[in-house]
């Protein structure tokens, strides 16, 4: 079996709006294996990744980086092959001429759950670090911070016209992390 595939030029692929006129993400990529390139509002490449379900990955990236996800280009493949996916990803990054911010130093912001601890307000930090707090009290404070950050993200997405409902993993909130369920 060959893993050879014609790698399309990123420039030749069609831009899809991240959130369409109906407020939906591109459902055509639901359950599809492929490589995707995410662009900002001015169509500057922000991140290149690959996934066994492009649609689910696009949802995750949207909540993690709502200000950077405006356009997407996708190349799907029929059979999962990490080699093929990585080859396309690398070719697109090379074609771009420089490493997109999301594939460089900021990769964790695109690929890992949101850590709400660095997003604490001064008041929240004071509550969290209060000497009388036990572990349970700190967990409740962190969970409330996670809820606040979640509400802020959902408000930004609503302002962008998103109509889809996103559900965050409630167990992760206790750890101060936000990720879709």
From the first residue on, what is the mean pLDDT of each consecutive set of 10 residues in the chain (181 residues)? 70 97 96 98 98 97 97 94 95 97 96 96 93 91 96 97 95 95 89
Among 55, 82, 110, the domain-final residue is 110
Number of structural domains found in the chain: 2
Same domain, 92 and 119: no
DSSP state letters, 96-117: HSS--GGGTTTHHHHHS-EE-G
Same domain, 22 and 101: yes
Same domain, 143 and 100: no
Same domain, 77 and 135: no
Among 77, 110, 143, the domain-final residue is 110
Q: Which residues pair with 38 in a beta bridge?
A: 47, 72
Residue 5 has a pLDDT of: 66
Same domain, 122 and 75: no
What single DSSP character describes residue 143?
H
Among 91, 110, 129, the domain-final residue is 110
Residue 6 has a pLDDT of: 81
Same domain, 70 and 146: no
- 47: containing domain: 10-110
Q: Is residue 1 part of a domain?
A: no
Residue 4 has a pLDDT of: 54
Residue 2 has a pLDDT of: 42
165: left (phi over 0), alpha (psi -120 to 50) or beta: beta
- Where residue 94 sits, what CATH number does that domain have? 3.40.1440
Q: Is residue 4 part of a domain?
A: no
Q: Exposed, middle or buried by CB within 10 Å (0-12, 13-18, 19+), for 38?
A: buried
CA 169-170-174 angle, 5° bins: 120
Same domain, 25 and 99: yes
Interaxial angle between packed helices 54-64 and 135-159, expressed in degrees from 0 to 180 and rounded to the nearest 10: 100
Q: Is residue 49 part of a domain?
A: yes
Residue 3 has a pLDDT of: 47
> What is the residue whose two structure tokens read 């949207």?
62
């Amino acid at each position: 079996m060959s893993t050879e595939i014609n790698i399309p030029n990123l420039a030749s692929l069609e831009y899809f709006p991240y959130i369409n006129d109906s407020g939906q993400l591109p459902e055509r990529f639901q359950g599809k294996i492929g490589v995707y390139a995410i662009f900002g509002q001015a169509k500057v490449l922000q991140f290149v990744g690959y996934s066994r379900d492009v649609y689910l990955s696009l949802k995750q990236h949207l909540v993690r980086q709502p200000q950077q996800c405006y356009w997407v280009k996708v190349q799907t493949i029929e059979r999962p092959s990490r080699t093929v996916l990585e080859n396309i990803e690398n070719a697109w990054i090379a074609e771009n001429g420089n490493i997109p911010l999301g594939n460089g130093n900021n990769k964790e912001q695109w690929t890992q759950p949101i850590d709400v601890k660095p997003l604490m307000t001064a008041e929240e930090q004071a509550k969290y670090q209060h000497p009388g707090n036990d572990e349970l009290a700190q967990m409740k404070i962190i969970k409330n911070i996670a809820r606040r950050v979640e509400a802020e993200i959902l408000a930004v997405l609503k302002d962008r016209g998103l109509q889809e409902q996103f559900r965050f993993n409630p167990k992760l909130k206790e750890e101060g992390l936000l990720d879709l369920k």
